[in-house]
Amino acid sequence: MAEARKLHDRFFKQAKAEGYAARSAYKLKEINRRRQVLRRGGRVLDLGCAPGSWLQVAAECVGPKGLVVGIDLKPVTIDLPANARAVVGDAFEVDAAALLALAGDKAERFDVVLSDMAPSTEGGGGGTVDHFRSVALCRRVLDLCPSVLRAGGHVVMKVFEGEEYPRLLRQTQRLFADVKGLKPEASRDASREMFIIGKDFRATAAPTPAAPTRKDGA
Q: Kindly list the catalytic residues.
A: 158
Query: Count of CB atoms within 10 A of residue 75's CB?
Result: 11
Helices (H), 103-127: none
Bridge-partner residues for 127, per DSSP? Answer: none
Q: Show the beta-strand stretches assigned E in the chain.
A: 43-47, 67-72, 84-88, 110-115, 149-160, 176-182, 193-201
- C-alpha distances in Å from residue 115, one per residue of 13, 14, 16, 198: 24, 22, 22, 12
Q: b/e for 138-156, b at 16 or more Cβ within 10 A?
A: bbbbbbbbbebbbeebbbb
Query: Count of CB atoms within 10 A of residue 206's CB?
Result: 9
